[in-house]
Every structure is written in structure tokens, then in C-alpha cells.
Amino acid sequence: MKQLVLDLGTDQAHSLDTFEVGQNAEVAQLMRQFAARTSREHFAYLWGELAAGKSHLLKALASTERARYISPFSIESEFVYSPDVDLYLLDDCEKLSPLAQIDAFALFNEIRANKAYMVCSGAVPPAVLPVREDLRTRMGWGLIYQIHGLTDAEKIAALTQAATTRGLTLSPGVLPYLLSHFRRDMRSLSTMLDSLDLYSLETQRPITLPLLRELLQAEAKE
């Protein structure tokens, strides 16, 4: 059997259209307003569990014009306000170093003074973020939303739709088994669906549980 290496570390393109909305319809609509710079609120903070989709939304917004994505580990100059940028996306705020917190505090003030926009994300609500108090207060300036991860049923529905769009036929039980025996975030699950499609074509076999088990075993050996 030819083993397929799953490149789960590769950053895939992010867009608002590929965000699986689930229970997040209101925040998805708000993010479209931020993308168009039409939101009445200029600040928003998104929080939720790992792989809920926070970074996906921020990186999708970063693909719009005059936007800048900032990670906790970005260089100092990325935290400096620029008149050429009117939307700032600050991700994983709980990981900000003491120095980065100082830079983020200054950036918040500049954004507000210049009527620009900012969306931040974190693992927990602003009130309990492990950052300095003045920065914590600023992260609560605007709208605060919890991003709810997809339920298993919603993940299966999304993957089923993706398979249908690609013309794939999945045997019953393939997706429930995948959710039980593989990484549960949608990016990894979508990547596995791509790999299943490719392996099915290479082996001229339908996508069944035995085929999935072979691929999962191959991935585990890498």
C-alpha cells in the first residue's frame, strides 16, 4: 500500500465563506460587517475552545484590504498603528508576553483615536484573561462573543456536504468512525477527506471503513 503523508501543518486558505457557522450565525454576520468596515462597533472579542474557528475568522478578515493579522509572537513593528491599515486582528491574546501587552495597549488606543477596527481572540473571556488590567479592560470595549465549536452532528453534516460537492460517495459509518479515531478539528477532518479522495482514486477502491482504517494506520506511522 502506498502511504500518504497528511500535511496537516500547512496553512489552508481562510475565508468567511468556508467558516462552518453552526451556532455562530450572529458572529459570522458581524465578521462580514467588519470585513466591509460597516459595523457600528469598532471592537470585537471572540473567545472559545481550541479549534472552534477563532483563528479562521481572524485570518479570513486579514485577507481583506488594509487589514493586518497579528499573533502573540509577531515582531514589535506589527503592533504599531499604521494609517494604511484600518482593521487589526489580534489572535491568541492569552499568549501575549508582558512586552507585547504594552504594545497591544498602545495599539488599542491608536485604533480608537483613528476610528479604525479591531477583532481580538482568546481562549477565555476578557474578564479572566491573564494580561494586565488596563489591556483587559480594552479588550472588553466592544462586542464579546463566545465561538461555539461544531457538534459531532454538525461536523458530519458539513463533511457530508463537502463530500457531495466533490462527488464523493462515503460508505455508512465512515464519518462517525473518523470523528472517533482522528483529530476533531474541521481543518484536519477536511484534510483527511481530501486524502481519502486521493487514496480512493489511486487504489480504485470506494471510500469504506477498511479504506479509512488503512489510511489512519498509515498516518499514525508517519
Among candidate residues 118, 96, 97, the one with its CA nearest the CA of residue 107: 118
2 has pLDDT over 60: no
Highest mean pLDDT: which range of 81-90, 143-152, 169-178: 81-90
pLDDT over 70 at 13, yes or no: no
Find which of 102-111, 148-157, 171-180 is predicted with most confidence, using mean pLDDT: 102-111
Find, among 149, 156, 148, 220, the residue nearest to 193 by Cα. Answer: 156
For residues 36-60, average pLDDT: 94
In angstroms, the CA 200 to CA 73 distance is 40
Number of residues in the chain: 222
**90 near 120, Cβ under 8 Å?**
yes
What confidence score (pLDDT) does residue 183 get?
Answer: 87
Quote the CA–CA distance of 211 and 15 in Å, as a whole number.
Answer: 31
Average pLDDT, the chain: 90
Cα separation, 141 vs 44, whole angstroms: 8
d(CA 59, CA 15): 8
Picking from 120, 118, 128, the residue whose alpha carbon sits closest to that of residue 145 is 120
Instruction: Give the residue-averaged pLDDT of 64-78.
Output: 97
Cell triple for 66: 488594509
Residue 44 grid coordinates:
470585537
Range with the poorest average pLDDT among 7-11, 109-113, 120-124, 153-157: 7-11
* pTM given for the model: 0.78
Which helix (H) or strand (E) segment holds residue 43: the answer is: strand 43-47
